Amino acid sequence: MYFIWIIAALIAGVVFGIVIKKIMTSQTISSAERKAESILAEARQKNKDLVLEAKDQALKMIEEAKAEERQRRNELRQTEERLSKREGLFDRKLMELEENKQKIENSRKELTQEKEEIKQIKDSQLVKLEKIAALSTDEAKDILIKNTEAKIQDELLHRMRKLEDRADEELEEKAKAMLTAVIERCAAAHTVETTTTAVSLPNDEMKGRIIGREGRNIKTIEQLTGVEIIIDDTPESILISAFNPIRRQLAKRTLEKLMSDGRIHPGRIEETVAQAKKELALDIKKAGEEAAYQAGIVGLDNKLIQILGRLKYRTSYGQNQLQHALEVSHLAGLLAAELKADVNVCKKGGLLHDIGKALDHEIKGSHPEIGYDLMKKFGLPEEVAYMSVAHHEDKPKTLEGVIVKIADAISGSRPGARRDSFEEYIQRLTELENTAKSFEGVEKAYAIQAGREIRVFVSPDSIDDYKANKLAQDIANKIEADLKYPGEIKVTVIREKRIVEYAR
C-alpha cells in the first residue's frame, strides 16, 4: 500500500510539472510576442526616419549638381567669349601679314629692277673703259695681278733671305754649342774588332791534342761551333776564325775548358760545347742587364734584355753594337733634356734602336723592321718602337725620332768608330751562309777561311749521298749566279748520321 502511494505521488508530481511547464511556456511565448511587436514597431519608425533622411540627402545632391552645372555653363560661356576674341585677333594678324608680304614682294621687284639698271650702267662704263684703255677686263686683271705678285714676291723673298740667314746663323751656333756640350759629357772609346780570336796554350803539345787522331777533335769542335781553328807555327797559340763573334766566343770558351779539364775527345767536346753555350747565354743576359742599368732603364722584359745582350757580340762596320746602343741612349737623353723632349722615350729608344741586329741573321727582313716588330711584341709603346724605324728615315715624324737619329749619327761618326770594309766583309759572309741555308734539307751552314769555303751540314734522313752531290752543285751554281766575290769558294756538304744507344 505504501508503494502504491509513492507511485501515485510520483504520477501526480509529473502531471503537476507538466502543467506548470505549459503555463510557463505560454507566458514565455506571450512575452516574446510582445517584445517582437515592440521591435517591429521600433524598426518601422527607424525605417521612416531613414527614408526621410535619404530623401533630404538626395535633394541636397540634386541641388549641388544643378549648381555645378550652372557654374560649368558659365565657364563654357566665358571660354567661348575668349576664343571668339582670339579668332578676331588672329584674323587681324593674318591680314597684316598678307599686307606685309605684299609690300616685301613689291620691294623685291623694285630691287631687282634697280640691280638690272646698275648692271646695265656698269656694263656700259666697262665698255667705255675698255675703249679708252684698249684692254679687256680679263687682260687688265691679269696685268694688275702679275704686277702685284711680282712686287710682293720680291719683297717676301728679300725678307725670307734675311730671316733664313739670321735663323741659320743662330741655329747653327746653338746646335754647335749643344752638340759640343753633349759630346763632351758622353765620351766613349772605340776599338775595331777583327774576325779572329787568339787562344793561348799552356804548351805546344796541346796543339796535337786539340787536333786529335786523324783530326777528329778539331773537326768536332769546328762542326759544333761553326768556326775554323787555325793551327800554325805560332808558339803556344792558335787562332779561331769566324765572322760571327758569338761563334768565336763559344769556341774560345770550349777550348779553354777542355785545356783546363785535360780530357779532349769527341764525347767530352760535345759536353763542353753544351756547357759553354749555357755559360755564354748567362753572360749575354748579364750584359743586357748591365746595359739597361747603365742607361737607367727599368721594366724591360727578361727575354728582351737577353736579346739586347746579344749585341755584345754583334758588330756593325767594326763597331760593337752594345756599346753603340748604350752611347746612343746617353746622347739621346742629353739632347732630349736640352730640347725639352721626352727623355725617357729617347733613352729607351736609343738603347733599343738597333735591337733588330741581334736577330737579323735568324729572321728575314731589315733590322729596323725586325726591331720595330720585336719591341711591339714585348709591349713597348709606339713612340719607343718607332725609334727603330726613325733612325733610318730621312725625316722622322717625331722630335724624339730626330733626336735618336742625331745621336746614332754622332756615335757612328766618332773617329775610329766604324770601318766600312769590315762591314762589307761581314755582309758577304752572311749572304754566303743564307744562300746555302735557302736549300731544303740544310740544317746549318758556316762560312770559314774568310769566305773561301762554305761548310753545309744536311739532314741525313732527307738528303742521301746522291742528293748531297747534287746539293753541292746547286749551291755552287746559286753562289756563282747571285753573289759577287773574289777568287773561288769551296762548297763542302757534310752528311753525318749518329745513332746513340745506352747500355744499362
Q: How confident is the model at residue 177 (pLDDT cuts 50, 70, 90)?
A: low
Our separate counts of H helices and E strands in the chain read 14, 8
d(CA 368, CA 386): 9
CA distances (Å), 101 to each of 87, 97, 230, in order? 21, 6, 110
Cα→Cα distances 83→59, 80, 181, 190, Å = 36, 5, 91, 102
* Grid cell 762596320 in the structure block, residue: 317
Q: Which amino acid is at 383?
A: E
Q: Give 444's strand partners.
A: 457
- C-alpha–C-alpha distance, residues 198 and 185, integer Å: 35
Cell numbers linked to 313 = 757580340
User: How far is residue 422's CA from residue 193's CA, in Å, rounded to a whole number?
Assistant: 9
Q: What's 285's domain CATH number?
A: 1.10.3210
- Residue 503 forms part of a structural domain: no
In a domain, 278, yes or no: yes
CATH number of domain containing 491? 3.30.300.20
The answer on 110 and 232 residing in a single domain is no
- Estimate the crossing angle of helix 321-339 against helix 137-185, to 10 degrees: 120
149 with 209, same domain: the answer is: no
Give the pLDDT of residue 97: 87
One domain for residues 105 and 229? no
Average pLDDT over residues 377-385: 89
Q: In the prediction, which pLDDT does 439 show?
A: 93
- Which DSSP symbol is given to 492? E
What's the grid cell of residue 240?
779561331
Domain boundary (369, 388, 418) is at 418
The Cα–Cα gap between 211 and 248 comes to: 17
232-260 tens-digit pLDDT: 888 888 888 877 778 888 888 899 888 88
Which amino acid belongs to residue 35? K
262 and 147 belong to one structural domain? no
Per-residue pLDDT of 181-223, as tens digits, reads: 555 555 554 444 456 778 888 888 888 888 888 889 888 988 8
| Domain co-membership, 109 together with 214 | no
pLDDT tens per residue, range 275-321: 988 988 898 889 888 888 888 888 888 888 888 888 887 777 667 78
Has residue 7 been placed in a domain?
A: yes
Long-range CB contacts (within 8 A, 24+) of 412-421: 412/317, 412/319, 412/324, 414/188, 414/190, 415/190, 416/190, 416/191, 416/192, 417/190, 417/317, 417/319, 417/324, 418/316, 418/317, 418/318, 418/319, 419/192, 419/317, 419/318, 420/317
pLDDT above 90 covers what percent of the chain? 7
Residues 6 and 144 in one domain: no
What pLDDT, in 10s, does the model give residues 123-158? 777 777 666 766 666 666 777 677 777 767 766 766
Q: Is residue 371 part of a domain?
A: yes
For residue range 405-434, list pLDDT tens digits in order. Answer: 888 888 776 655 555 456 677 778 888 999
190 within some domain: no
Domain boundary among 418, 448, 472: 418
State the pTM of this model: 0.49
Strands (E), 71-221: 196-200
In this structure, is residue 502 part of a structural domain? no
- In this prediction, residue 492 carries a pLDDT of 92
Q: Same structural domain for residues 367 and 267?
A: yes
Instruction: Mark which of 369, 386, 418 sits at the end of a domain.
Output: 418
Domain tally for the chain?
A: 4
Do 404 and 278 lie in a common domain?
yes
Which residue range(s) make up the domain with 214?
196-418
Supply φ then ψ for residue 229, to 5 degrees: -95, 120
In a domain, 223, yes or no: yes
Dihedral over Cα of 32, 34, 36, 39: its sign: negative
Tell me the one-letter amino acid at 492: T
pLDDT at 442: 92
Considering the domain boundaries, does residue 118 fall inside one?
yes
Q: Is the pLDDT confidence value at 457 over 60?
A: yes
Torsion of CA 347, 348, 350, 354, to 10 degrees: 170
Q: Do residue 88 and residue 229 come from a single domain?
A: no
Q: What are the beta bridge partners of residue 117?
A: none
Higher-confidence residue of 129 and 37: namely 37
| Statement to judge: residues 175 and 268 lie in one domain | no
Grid cell 606685309 — which residue? Answer: 100
- The reply to whether 429 and 414 lie within a common domain is no
Do 241 and 358 fall within a single domain?
Answer: yes
Q: Where are the alpha helices (DSSP H) in 296-342?
A: 302-309, 321-339
